[in-house]
Amino acid sequence: MKIFTRFLLLLFLFPLSSRSWHIIGGEMYYTCLGNNNYEITLKVYRDCNSTTPFDAPAYVSIYRPNGVLHETLIIPLPGFTTVDPDLTNPCLQIPPGVCVEEAIYKAIYNLPPIAGGYDIAYQRCCRNNTIVNLNDPANTGATFTAHIPSSSLVSCNSSPRFTNYPPIVICVDQVLEFDHSATDPNGDSLVYSLCTPYQGADAILPQPNPPPPPPYDPIVWLPPYNLNNQIGGSPVMSINPVTGLLTGFPTALGQYVVGVCVKEYRNGVFLSQDVRDFQFNITTCNPLIEANFNVNGGVSINDTLLLCGTNSASFNNLSYGSTIFEWDFGVTGINTDVSTEKNPVYVFPDTGVYKVMLYASPGLLCGDSVFKYVEIRKGVTPDFTVTPECMLTPVDFTDASVPLDGYLSGWAWDFGDGTTDTQQDPQHAFTNSGTFNVNLVVSNNYGCTGTITKPLIIHPVPDIQAGPDTFVCDIDMVTLHANDGISYAWSPAAYMNDPSLPDPLVNPPVTTVYTVTVTNVFGCIAKDSVTIQVTDTVIANTISDASLCIGDSIQLSTGNAVQYLWSPDYKINNTFIPNPVVNPEVTTTYYVVASVGSCFDEDTVTITVLLPPDVDAGEDVTINQGETAQLNATGSGTYQWIPPDDLSDPSIPDPLASPINTITYSVNVSADNGCKATDSVTVIVTHYHLFLVPNAFTPNGDGLNDYFQFYTKGIREVESVKVFNRWGQMVYSDEDGNDEGWDGSFLEVPCEMGTYIFYISGITYDNNPLQQKGNLTLLR
């Protein structure tokens, strides 16, 4: 029987950029024709879908030792052929679209014997960018080279050459065996090995002319690939060093660059080698004929087809590539369990396991066969029961399934509300009422399953409300209450008129917790409880008498009661709560009655209302920048001005205010009784900035107008004062404006009468400079 992978993926046809040449590989060898004439052969392989043609011509360089260029051969393109992608296994199909072209360049050239020999090279770029075992394959080219050995070693030598064309397609998950042997015209000894191909050229200069001299850099493997692990797999690819048989077992799809070398020895002396650089395309391969089948209604478990509940098996033939079939249904002791139908139906004689064989195209070279085990079992009959059927109550699910053979081994419950279980007899509580489709899948030890679905009605439990907890007087009766049922059971029953009523009367002497159990029409049960707190004493006990300022509020409070009644109904937010808020405008006494049923108590509280001080901050005032305003507030108490900025004392009733911008001051006055009052005043600040300068003065010593002086308005600082005579001579200067003024003299000599010019500069309270210039008359 042959088993093949059955799907196709041809990786090496991925597109490349238009500048790529899609080089597949190549090799170079030579043949000595005598009289120093050599025939040089260059084989180049590429993808058929390459957008760039074969080189026409190809440039092949010949180098002497030390990299001296001897000659560049210009070899015309002789044409190219499409290579037949043959597979060694005739029963496998070549994947569609596989196409490789081969060009063989040949040239005859005379090379006189020299020491060190000759190196011949050809370079081309680029490789497929989908190659998986190279680093940056799209920019990695190839170098195909050969070496003619030194005349001191041998004369008229021909290099070895590989016999078979390299494989285009290698099948994944199939044994690789390929005859990679070579021949040597001189009969020299050959040794085979895997080797690392050379790189050369790049995407920028894909066809060097001439190709550069040796040495040539090897390609860079992309880890985990390397010289000894070129395509992966297990076992990895290797080559017999004597026979050249290439073997391996590739396990991963992709394109791989492979290097195979054959070295030539004569009398133990190395002469030359042929390096084959080629791209292996590992892909999936389809067999020509494949046998396969299944059983309708059968379940595949490992390598067995399980059929439950019937001995009649309807076979479904999945084979392809064949129209002739033979079946053997594996019944021991008889030879009539056969068929030649494509899709037969066979009734097995009993339960058990049968080895069924299918032959597709029996007797032909590429015929195929397959066997599978078919297991016939009686199966199981699924069933289950349920009790009870109320929400919020654990529902017992009991498996009632019957194994027809074997024993039950697995259960898969789906309760229809999004929850599942795998126990045989689970419990499940439904959080909602309604109809739920409960599904059970039960299996036996053979793997047979049975499925059953039953609708399950989950009834609601009573929506019981026993009411809020209650505070009662010990001499009072209280009525309990329950609902949504057809029967009731209260406990404890002591001090109760009838525990089976929905609304019994109780008069417990002490605090008691009553629990009621309610059963509805569906038989579903629910419980609730209520606490009856009993007291024989009620204490009103409100707050002590208090005082407050008019406009303020205070919260009253009282003791352990259920009902409250406050009076009078004056400036109180609620007269029926234990802790109302009051804000009376006059002194008021409040009265409270606190009760629990027939138990009650009362108390009073007096709230004294205090008056605030009578505060007046005065009229608004206007000043100019740099001036001072006298504030004057009235009212008895302690003062606090806000904000305190630019005030002489913010804690007195009449501070001096010197703001440079308009501002509103608030004054808070606290009276001795703790009440406060507030008023405000605005100081309006004007922004006039000027120097007030006289136009004449009389420095005659009579004590009147003897100095040149001026006044300022809105000026924070006078920076300088200068006076000049009519000839421009400065006769007076005050650099800080602090002098008492000019006395009309210069260097202690009185100046003559006449007109003088003054310059004054300063800084305003807005921090802006201000200058003023004018005429001044000196009179005597």
Domain match, 498 and 603 both: no
Report the pLDDT value the prediction gives residue 441, as an integer from 0 to 100. 98
pLDDT, tens digit, 9 for 90 and up, residues 558-610: 878 889 999 999 999 999 999 999 999 999 999 999 999 999 999 999 999 99
86 and 76 share one domain: yes
Is the confidence at residue 21, as pLDDT, over 70? no
For residue 568, cis peptide bond before it (omega within 30 degrees of 0) = yes
> Last residue of some domain: 329, 351, 377?
377
Cβ(132)–Cβ(222) below 8 Å? yes
For residues 253 and 357, state if they share a domain: no
Q: How many domains, in total, are found in the chain?
A: 7
Cβ contact 612:550 at 8 Å: yes
Read off the pLDDT of each residue in 531-557 and give the average, rounded to a whole number: 93
Q: DSSP states of 395-420 as a string?
A: EEEEE--EESSS-EEEEEEE-SSS-E
Tell me: do 389 and 478 sit in the same domain. no
Instruction: Choose one of 458, 480, 499: the last residue of a domain.
Output: 458
Both 209 and 268 in one domain: the answer is: yes
Q: What is the pLDDT of residues 363-396, one digit of tens each?
A: 888 888 999 999 999 999 999 999 989 999 999 9
Residue 476 belongs to some domain of the structure: yes
Residue type, position 238, single letter: S
- pLDDT, position 206: 93
Tell me, yes or no, whether 150 and 216 share the same domain: yes
Domain match, 770 and 718 both: yes
pLDDT top residue among 94 and 296: 296
- 288 pLDDT more than 60: yes
Residue with tokens 């391969």: 285
| pLDDT for 19 beyond 60 | no
Residue at 168 is within a domain: yes
pLDDT beyond 60 at 20: no
Strand 730-734 to strand 715-724: parallel, antiparallel, or no bridges (unpaired)?
Answer: antiparallel
Q: Are residues 341 and 396 in the same domain?
A: no
Q: Residue 724's domain is classified under what CATH number?
A: 2.60.40
> Which pLDDT score is estimated for 5?
29
493 shares its domain with 634 = no
Say how far apart CA 114 and CA 708 lie, in whole Å.
121
In a 13 Å sphere around the CA of 283, the CA atoms on its Cβ side amount to 25
- State mean pLDDT over 496-505: 96
Tell me, yes or no, whether 464 lies in a domain: no
Q: Within a domain: residue 3?
A: no
Mean pLDDT of 313-325: 94
Looking up residue 572, the CATH number of its domain turns out to be: 2.60.40.10
Same-domain status, 266 and 404: no
What is the model's pLDDT at position 50? 78
pLDDT at residue 12 above 60?
A: no
* pLDDT of res. 420: 98
In angstroms, the CA 523 to CA 487 distance is 10
Q: Residue 736 — very low, low, confident or very high, per pLDDT cuts 50/70/90? A: confident
Average pLDDT score over residue span 196-221: 94
pLDDT (average), residues 191-204: 94
- The answer as to whether 616 is a domain residue is no
* Segment 647-668 mean pLDDT: 96
Q: What is the pLDDT of residue 449?
A: 94
Average pLDDT, the chain: 92
Average pLDDT over residues 352-372: 92
SS3 call for 12: helix
Using CA atoms, how far apart are residues 354 and 348, in angstroms rounded to an integer?
9
Does residue 31 sit in the same domain as residue 173? yes
Domain that holds residue 304: 288-377
Q: What is the pLDDT of residues 27-36, one digit of tens each?
A: 999 999 999 9
Looking at the DSSP bridge assignments, the partners of residue 23 are: 46, 127
**363 and 391 belong to one structural domain:** no
In a domain? residue 563: yes
Give the model's pLDDT for residue 89.
64
Distance CA 598, CA 576 (A): 17
- List, for residues 113-171, the tens digit of each pLDDT value: 999 999 999 999 989 889 999 999 989 999 999 999 998 899 999 999 999 988 878 88
Q: Tell me, what's the pLDDT at 169?
A: 84
Q: Rounded to whole angstroms, how far apart are CA atoms 84 and 89?
A: 14
86 pLDDT higher than 50: yes
Is 80 exceeded by the pLDDT of residue 3? no
What's the start-to-end Cα distance of the chain, in Å? 145
Report pLDDT for 707: 93
Which of the listed residues 265, 286, 307 is the one where a domain comes to its end?
286
Residue 5 in any domain: the answer is: no
| Domain-located, residue 328 | yes
Contacts of 418 (CB under 8 A, 6+ apart): none
Residue 2 in this model has a pLDDT that exceeds 80: no
